[in-house]
Amino acid sequence: MRLGVLDVGSNTVHLLVVDAHPGARPLPAHSHKADLRLAQLLDEDGAIGPDGVDRLIAVVHDALRAAEDQGVEDLLPFATSAVREATNADDVLARVRAETGVELTVLSGEEEARLTFLAVRRWFGWSAGKLLVLDIGGRRPLCRSPNGHDENPTPVSPLPRVRVRLTAARLPGDPPHPDDVRALRRHVRTEIARTVGEFSRFGAPDHVVATSKTFRQLARIAGAARSAEGLYVQRELKRASLEVWVPRLGAMTTAERAELPGVSEGRANQLLAGALVAEAAMDLFHVESLEICPWALREGVILRRLDHMGQG
């Protein structure tokens, strides 16, 4: 059957269409993205304003037309942190439902983590052993499996959020002042260090994996293969490469970062903050190299749906 997953995230609204059957690997058939940047549309009270809701509804309508054009049989719509944390989330969801017919499921941070971990586990298989999964964006936590034979991570623990508001508040310059970069670096490392002991009691992971657009962009500028080369090309990110790139990114303007390979204009202003979080996580968890997983939250939502279909 042809499934569509509609992901209303902090930066983009992404419709992913796949051909999927229980017990088989979902095959991507179509991708439709809109750069909405909901996280930037929150007002001082943390609410999504009328203009932002209007734009969201228009984007959802576009996604519905794309899903219809692609013959989607079942649509799985969900929203993450930007909607979840909006002070008027209930009103936003009600308007979307009333004007589009789409019932957005709002995922908690822990649900995002578990679904992302499920996708990573299925991609690498049980033979990968103990997994440590790093993810930057929204409120998806870092998570790991205490053994090599399950699909539910324990524990799940949050990495500092890399979002437009964090970047704008702590790195106001363009390029940012070195003192502001150092202050954010200290803040990020203090936050991540609080989680190290919780994870170290499980012993060293067998495989360290990263998901999210931020990690993919960092790997790309460090020399990893382009996305056009396909899902099955192994992509790695080394800590040594990050240590070289962090000061370079700190010296660049947003426009200069947007010119780097694989970096989109909409995410260029967040890339330095993301790099600081990635470098700190790899350093404090003693990770010299990690592998980029092409599957993440959207695929986890699809896989969970297929599991339920198989049980029905």
The CATH number covering residue 65 comes to 3.30.420.40
Under DSSP, the state recorded for 133 is E
Does the pLDDT of residue 141 top 60, yes or no?
Answer: no
161 and 226, same domain (yes or no): yes
Residue 175 in any domain: the answer is yes
pLDDT value of position 163: 47
Residue 11 in any domain: the answer is yes
Q: Which of 190, 205, 213 is nearest to 281 (CA)?
A: 190
Residue range 64-93, pLDDT digits in tens: 999 999 999 999 999 998 899 899 999 999
Peptide bond into 294 cis (omega under 30): no
* Residue 292 belongs to domain with CATH number: 3.30.420.150
Residue 309 in any domain: the answer is no
Q: Which of 57, 84, 106 is the last residue of a domain?
A: 106
Residue 75 in any domain: the answer is yes
Q: Which of 85, 106, 127 is the last residue of a domain?
A: 106
114 and 260, same domain (yes or no): yes
Residue 252 in any domain: the answer is yes
At 156, the pLDDT band (50, 70, 90 cuts) reads low
H helix intervals, the chain: 50-69, 81-84, 89-100, 109-124, 164-170, 178-200, 213-221, 239-251, 254-258, 271-284, 297-311
pLDDT value of position 231: 86
198 and 144, same domain (yes or no): yes
Residue 168 in any domain: the answer is yes
**Structural domain of 102:** 2-106
152 versus 155: the higher-pLDDT residue is: 152
At 201, the pLDDT band (50, 70, 90 cuts) reads confident
Report the range of poorest mean pLDDT among 49-58, 78-87, 128-137, 268-277: 128-137
148 and 279, same domain (yes or no): yes
124 and 52, same domain (yes or no): no
Domain count, the chain: 2
Region 246-263 average pLDDT:
96
pLDDT value of position 138: 55
Rounded to whole angstroms, the Cα distance separating 148 from 286 reads 20
Q: Which of 278, 165, 172 is nearest to 217 (CA)?
A: 278
Residue range 106-126, pLDDT digits in tens: 998 888 888 999 999 999 998
261 and 201, same domain (yes or no): yes
Region 277-299 average pLDDT:
94
Q: Taking phi first (over 0 means left), then psi (-120 to 50 degrees means alpha), and beta for anything else, what does residue 138 get?
A: left
149 and 240, same domain (yes or no): yes
**Model confidence, pTM:** 0.90
Residue 32 in any domain: the answer is yes
192 versus 201: the higher-pLDDT residue is: 192
Order of strands across the sheet that contains 27-35: 27-35, 12-19, 2-8, 74-79, 105-106
Q: Which of 248, 223, 236, 210 is nearest to 117 (CA)?
A: 210
pLDDT value of position 289: 97
Give the chain's count of helices (H) and strands (E): 11, 11
The 10 Å Cβ neighbour count of residue 210 is 28
73 and 192, same domain (yes or no): no
Rounded to whole angstroms, the Cα distance separating 274 from 278 reads 6
264 and 183, same domain (yes or no): yes
Reading the block at residue 293, the tokens are 């997983």
Of all residues in the chain, the percent with pLDDT exceeding 90 is 62
153 and 265, same domain (yes or no): yes
Rounded to whole angstroms, the Cα distance separating 290 from 237 reads 5
**CA geometry: angle at 135 spanning 133 and 138, to 5°?**
145
- Greatest C-alpha distance within the chain: 57
Report the range of poorest mean pLDDT among 75-89, 146-160, 214-228: 146-160
Q: Which of 91, 106, 121 is the last residue of a domain?
A: 106
94 and 193, same domain (yes or no): no
Residue 212 in any domain: the answer is yes
Does the pLDDT of residue 140 top 80, yes or no?
Answer: no
Contact (Cβ atoms closer than 8 angstroms) between residue 217 and residue 271: yes
148 versus 258: the higher-pLDDT residue is: 258
174 and 216, same domain (yes or no): yes
Close Cβ partners of 271 (under 8 Å, ≥ 6 residues apart): 214, 217, 218, 249, 257, 263
